[in-house]
């Protein structure tokens, strides 16, 4: 189960079919990975023999979950990569060892006007949380380190502080801001020369499309949200004296040094 707004992402998953509305087709089992009450309600209405809920955190389980689901599973996530965690804890016969998520290429009619595959670097400097936002000076230093003429596109589907942050980076670097729909964002991630981003959707999509990616991490867990792979580099802010990994305090120099191994 997922939101209808994710239909375009699901459409790119090999072997997966997206169906809108309630799950009304009879089935043997249903697997839910979302702790929200809306998903529990829809799961309860589905005509299935067994309903399974799998979540990594005990605090995400609510009083109604045992009513809807048979024995909700919630082994602790720990330092596991989140996709591998769900693979390992979904009680169905696995077809071999864990395979990192992979997506098919989006059709070309999803491309924003004026952009061609392989002719740009995608920069995604914002997410839904301010704590994941790196500084304008930091991004400017990384883009200068690319060292060859290149078009940079900043994707921005947000507003307020997200738009303001992108505008400051664009003013400092000459990058182009491209407001995007989900389809356009997917096409850009799949067809960029590389994706430079903070921890978030662009990082995961680049890896799934097989596009080179460089991700800057702040307080979120590197082990949970980054799987080492060829062409994928992650840099995490070091802890300060209070043990916090703040991107606001992260200087450009160590990131640029790590970026030098990226090989654009």
Instruction: Give me the CATH number covering residue 252.
Output: 3.40.50.2000
CB contact burial 110-122 (16+ within 10 A = b; e otherwise): bbbeebeeeebbb
Q: Which of 89, 121, 156 is the last residue of a domain?
A: 89
**Any idea what DSSP says for residue 135?**
P
Q: What is the pLDDT of residue 186?
A: 96
Residues of the chain with pLDDT below 50 are: none
Same domain, 74 and 124: no
Tokens of 43: 């799961």
* Residue 195 burial (10 A CB sphere; 0-12, 13-18, 19+): buried
**133 contacts 160 by C-beta, under 8 angstroms:** no
Q: How much is the pLDDT for 150?
A: 66
* C-alpha to C-alpha distance for 255 and 218, rounded to whole angstroms: 12
Task: Say what the pLDDT of residue 1 is.
Answer: 66
Task: Report the domain count for the chain.
Answer: 2
pLDDT, residue 146, reads 86
* 98, part of any domain: no
Whether the model clears a pTM of 0.75, i.e. scores above it, the answer is yes
250 plus 157 within the same structural domain: yes
- Please tell me the chain's helix, strand, coil percentages from 3-state DSSP, rounded to the nearest 5: 35, 15, 50
Give CA–CA dist 195/123, Å, rounded: 6
Tell me which residue of 245, 252, 218 sits closest to 234, measured CA to CA: 218
**Has residue 102 been placed in a domain?**
no
Q: Which two tokens stand for residue 81?
A: 């990569």
| 144 and 43, same domain (yes or no) | no
| CB < 8 Å & 24+ apart, contacts of 6-12 | 8/106, 8/110, 8/182, 8/183, 8/186, 9/103, 9/182, 9/186, 12/103, 12/104, 12/105, 12/106, 12/186
Same domain, residue pair 39 and 125: no
pLDDT at 156: 61
Enclosing domain of residue 49: 4-89
């Amino acid at each position: 189960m997922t939101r209808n707004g994710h239909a375009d992402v699901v459409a790119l998953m090999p072997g997966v079919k997206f169906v809108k509305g309630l799950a009304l087709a009879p089935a043997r089992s249903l697997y839910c990975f979302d702790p929200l009450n809306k998903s529990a309600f829809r799961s309860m209405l589905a005509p299935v023999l067994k309903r399974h809920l799998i979540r990594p955190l005990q605090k995400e389980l609510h009083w109604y979950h045992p009513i809807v689901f048979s024995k909700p599973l919630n082994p602790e996530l720990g330092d596991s990569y989140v996709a591998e965690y769900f693979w390992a804890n979904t009680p169905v016969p696995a077809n071999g060892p864990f395979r990192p998520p992979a997506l098919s290429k989006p059709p070309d009619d999803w491309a924003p006007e004026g952009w061609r595959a392989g002719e740009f670097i995608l920069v995604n400097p914002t997410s839904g949380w301010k704590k994941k936002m790196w500084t304008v000076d930091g991004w400017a230093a990384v883009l200068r380190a690319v060292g060859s003429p290149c078009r940079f596109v900043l994707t921005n589907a947000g507003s307020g502080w997200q738009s303001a942050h992108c505008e400051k980076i664009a003013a400092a670097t000459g990058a182009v801001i491209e407001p995007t729909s989900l389809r356009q964002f997917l096409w850009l991630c799949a067809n960029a020369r590389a994706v430079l981003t903070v921890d978030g959707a662009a990082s995961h999509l680049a890896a799934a499309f097989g596009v080179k990616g460089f991700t800057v991490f702040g307080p979120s867990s590197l082990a949970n949200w980054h799987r080492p792979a060829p062409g994928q580099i992650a840099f995490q802010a070091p802890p300060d004296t209070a043990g916090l990994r703040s991107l606001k305090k992260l200087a450009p120099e160590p990131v640029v040094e790590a970026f030098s191994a990226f090989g654009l």
